[in-house]
Structure 1
């Protein structure tokens, strides 16, 4: 479970101090699903970075399963990210010179697994996202939707507890967007993941049971009775 208490993140822009997050209090239950929305520059990605331990708050606490992500050492934080948190980004972030299989395997390197186990788990992950026959293809040989599926497989291959997605369908057309979203929702249910997604797409937000709206660093959470 995530428990955020008084989370504030300040940035210095010239002589001006800007609060990207301003005293955010938020609870995300295990297995919960939350969509984060808000205007550009409102703090959406900053909040996701806090949840993923990619940045530390200026003040307040981000606690995941009793561990304050802002207070632990960098080495321990790296371990938490490697073992417990999967990330999916808008730009896919695949290594162009590696095959789909090799890109997925990169997520397992920090776990110290043997080569055979890495290969088997990566192949299984790609199969689970419908790319079992494309393991040897480079990113340039795959469509945008297929590249995002590789990125999703890379996020899930380490069997994380949490999946964080930052505009995962932002570079996709409407049809492919829906396919990828259906895949993410299915994986959330099948794996019991805690799933948090940033999106500007209101159609996708309506599919979520909870929506956190950020404006000027402050968060309002609403329950969506029609969310899946």
Structure 2
């Protein structure tokens, strides 16, 4: 479970101080599916970075299972991210010179998983997202949707507790958007993940059980009736 209390994040732009997050209080239960929406620059990605331990708040606490991520050393944060948190980004972030299977295996290297097991788990993860026949393909040999499936497999192969997705369909057309969200929703249900997604897409937001809206660093959360 996440518990955020009084989280602020301030940046300095020239002589101006910008409050990307301004006193955010938020609880996200185990297994929740939360969509975060809001205008550009409103604090969505900043909040996701806090949840992923990629950034620390100026003030306040970000607790994951009772551990305040804001107080951890960088080495300890790296361990928490490696073991517990999977990330999916808009730009896929695949290594172009590695095959699909090798890209997925990279998530297991920090965990000390042996080569044979890495290969087996990577192949299984790719099979689960419908890419069992694409193990040896390079990113440049795959469509955008296929590359995002590889990124999803990479995020899930380490069996994380939390899946964070930042505009995961932002580079995809409408039909591929629906396909990728179907994959993500299926993974959420099958793995019992806590799934948090940032999106500009209102059609995705309408289907979320919970919707958080951020404007000028302030957050409001409502329960949705899924369509």
Shorter-chain TM-score: what band? over 0.9
In structure 2, what is the equivalent of residue 34 of structure 1? 34
1:73 Cα offset (Å): 1.0
Using the alignment, how far apart are the partners of 1:5 and 1:159 within structure 2? 27
Name the structure 1 match of 2:63: 63
Q: Deviations over 1:133-181 (max 9, x none)?
A: 0000000000000000000000000000000000000000111100100
Give the aligned partner of residue 112 of structure 2.
112
Q: Distance in 2 between the 1:73 and 1:41 partners? A: 28
Q: Structure 2 unaligned runs (5+)? A: none
Q: Distance in 1 between matches of 2:176 and 2:207?
A: 16
Structure 2 counterpart of 1:173: 173
What root-mean-square deviation, in Å, do the aligned CA atoms of Structure 1 and Structure 2 show? 0.5
2:154 is matched with which residue? 154
- For structure 1, list consecutive stretches of 5 or more residues without a partner in the other structure: none
Alpha-carbon distance in 2 for matches of 1:106, 1:207: 32
Match for residue 19 of structure 2?
Answer: 19
| Whole-Å separation in 2 of the counterparts to 1:126 and 1:136 | 11
2:107 match: secondary structure: helix
CA distance in 2, matches of 1:215, 1:86: 26
* Aligned-partner Cα distance in 2 for 1:80–1:164: 14
Residue 87 (structure 1) aligns with: 87
Once the two structures are superposed, what CA deviation does each residue of 1:14-60 show, in whole Å capped at 9, x if it has no partner?
A: 11111000000000000000000000000000000000000000000
Structure 2 length-normalised TM: 0.99
Displacement of 1:226 in angstroms is 2.2
